Structure 1
Amino acid sequence: MTAHTPAPPPAPACPAASIVEPPVRFRDLIASEWIKTRSLRSTWWALALTLAFVIGSAAAVALAEVGNLEGSGPNPTGNRDFLPFVAFPPAGYWPLMVVATALGALTVVSEYASGLIRTTTVAVPARGAVVAAKAVVTAALWSAVGAVVSTGSFLVSQAVLDGRHAGVPFAHPGVARALVASALLAPVCSLVGLGIGALVRHGVATMVVGVFTLVMLPPVFSQSEPWSAAVNHAMPSSAWQRLVQSWEPDPSSLGHSATVAGSWIVYVLWPLIAVVLAVVVVRRRAV
C-alpha cells in the first residue's frame, strides 16, 4: 500500500507592496499652472496687444497735450506739473482692466469648459490648493505686465512732453504712487476675474459680470451723496483714479472725495475677497 505524503501547506501570500505617491507640493502646483498659462499662444498675443495699446494710448494723449501747449511758451523746469491722466490715460487703462479680468477668469473657466477640472481634482484632491496656485501664478504674471505697462506709459508720455519742457522725472511728487497704483491695477482685476470665473464658471457670463462690475458700474454712482460716493469709492477703478490723481480734492467741493488710505484698502480687499470666495466655492461645489 502506497503511503501518501501530505502536501506542504501553501506559502502565505505576500501582500502586494502598496505604492504610496508623495504628496503634491504647492510649488509643483504653481509649476503646473505656469505651464498651462505659458503654453497658450493666445495669452501672449493678448498680453502683447494690450501692452502696445496702453503704451500707445499714453503716447497719443501726450501728443495731443503737446498740441494744446503749442500756443504757450516753454515751461520752466521749476514749474513743471505732473499730468497723471496723460501718463496713465483712462482710455488705455479701461481696456487693460477688461483684458486682465477676462484672462484671470479663463484660468478657471477654461478648465470647466474643457472638462480638465475633473482630471485636476482627481490628481490633486486639495482643490483649495489648486485655486491658490492659480491665484499666485495669475498675480505674478499680471504684476509683471502691470509694471511694464505702467513704466512704459510714463516713460513714453514724458518723452513726448519733454518736447515742450513739460515732462517730469520719476522723483517728481505724486509719480511714485501713480506708478505703483497703475502697475497693481492689472493684478487686482485679474484676481477679481479669477474669483468671478470660479463663481460663474461660464465664459460669456463671466465676461459680462466682470465688465459690468469693474467698468460700467462705478460711473452709475455719483459723489454728490454720501451713500453713492461710498459705493463709487469702493470700486477698483475709482480707487485707481484717486491714487493716480496728484492733486488733493478741494475741501469746499460739494462732492465726497475718496481718501488715499481708503483707496489702498480697496486695492487689497477686492482680490483678497475674490480669491477666498473662489477657494470656498471650488472646495464645496461638486465638479
Structure 2
Amino acid sequence: MKTATGTIEATPAAARSEGRAARIRLIDAAAFEWIKVRSLRSTWWTWFAAGFVTIGIAVVGAGNAQPGEPSGAVLGKLLGGIQLGQIAVCLFGVLAATSEYGTGSIRSTFTAVPLRPRLLTAKALVVGAVSVIVGTVITFGCVLVGSLGLGSDVPSPSLADGSVLRVCLGGGVYLGFLGVFALALGLVMRATAGGITAATSITFVLPNMMMFLGETGETVSKWWPTDAGAQILQKESVTGSLAPFPGLAYFALITVLAVVGTIVLTNRRDA
C-alpha cells in the first residue's frame, strides 16, 4: 500500500504470499509435480502403450532377423519399435502440461507455487526423470525379450558389448529428453490437440517426410533435433548423420533451450 511519503509497501497478505513462495523449495515443487503426474491415468496408459508397442515389435523383429546379419542390424530390428514408442512418450510429455490447462487447475498450481520458473523447472525434472527411468526399462526390455526370439544361428546382441549397453542406456536418456521436449511444446500450446499434433509432427511425421526430399532432406535430417538425438540408438555411426554422443548432446541442448524459452514465455503471460 502507498504511504504518506509516496512509497509503496507490501500489504500483510502480499508479504505472507511472498514469504510462502520463498519457502517453497525446488524439491517441494518436484514432489508436488510427482503427485500430479502419478495420479494421471494417462501416465500409466501411455507408458503401457509405449512398452507394449516397442517390445512387441522387438519380438517381431527378432523373427525377421536372418543368419549372418551384423549384430548392429539385428539390434536395429529389436529396437525398431522405438520410433512408434516415441509417440507415446510425446503424449506423456504433452499431457503432463495440457491436462492442467484443460481442467483450469493450472491456476491453483500457480497459486500453490507462485514462482513459475521454479515450478516449471520442477515439472521438467519430474517428466524427464520418469521418461528416463521407464524409457531405459523399455529399451532394455526390447533387447532382452527380443533376444529370446532370435534363432540359434543369428548373432544376439550382448550387454557385455559396450556399444550395446550404450545404446540401451542412451536410448533411455534420449526418451527422457524427448518427454521434456514434448512437455515444453505442451506448455507453449496449452491445448492437448495442438500439443500432440506439434510433438508427433516434429518427432515422427516430418522426419519421415524428409526421406523424399533428396540431398536437402538428408542435410535437414542430420540437424533435425529428434533425429540427431535418436542416433544414440545406433550401434555404429550412420554415414551422413551426427555421431551418437554428439547427436544426443545436440538434442539435449535444443531441449534445454526449449524449456528456458517456455519458462520465459509462461512467466510473461496469464495462466
What TM-score does the superposition give when structure 2 sets the normalisation length? Answer: 0.83
Q: Which has the higher helix share?
A: 2
Partner of 2:71 in structure 1? Answer: 81
Give the greater-gyration-radius structure (CA). 1
Deviation at 1:224, TM superposition (A): 4.9
Percentage identity across paired residues of the two chains: 26
Q: When the two structures are aligned, how many residues end up with a matched partner?
A: 254
Deviation at 1:42, TM superposition (A): 3.0
Which amino acid is 1:58 matched to? A
Give the counterpart of 1:149 among 131, 138, 152.
Answer: 138
Partner of 1:266 in structure 2? Answer: 250
Which amino acid is 2:249 matched to? I
Tell me if structure 2 keeps the 8 A contact 1:198–1:281.
no
Cα 1:48–1:172 change in 2 (3 A) is: same
Partner of 2:170 in structure 1? Answer: 181
Which amino acid is 2:112 matched to? A
Runs of 4+ in 1 over 4 A off after TM superposition: 18-22
Give the counterpart of 1:215 among 201, 204, 210.
Answer: 204
Give the counterpart of 1:133 among 109, 116, 122.
Answer: 122
Tell me if structure 2 keeps the 8 A contact 1:105–1:206.
yes
For structure 1, the residue ranges without an aligned partner over 5 or more in a row are 1-15, 70-74, 251-255
Whether 1:31 and 2:31 are equivalent positions in the alignment is yes
Whether 1:203 and 2:192 are equivalent positions in the alignment is yes
Tell me if structure 2 keeps the 8 A contact 1:138–1:187.
yes
Q: Deviations over 1:211-270 (max 9, x none)?
A: 111111123335853x543321223442255333334556xxxxx343334312223123
What are the equivalent positions in structure 2 for 1:6-25 lying under 5 Å apart? 21=20, 23-25=23-25
Whether 1:158 and 2:142 are equivalent positions in the alignment is no
Please give the root-mean-square deviation of Cα atoms over the aligned residues, in Å. Answer: 2.6
Partner of 2:45 in structure 1? Answer: 45
Partner of 2:9 in structure 1? Answer: none
Cα 1:275–1:60 change in 2 (3 A) is: same
Which amino acid is 2:248 matched to? W
Cα 1:120–1:153 change in 2 (3 A) is: same
Deviation at 1:155, TM superposition (A): 0.8
Tell me if structure 1 keeps the 8 A contact 2:232–2:245.
no
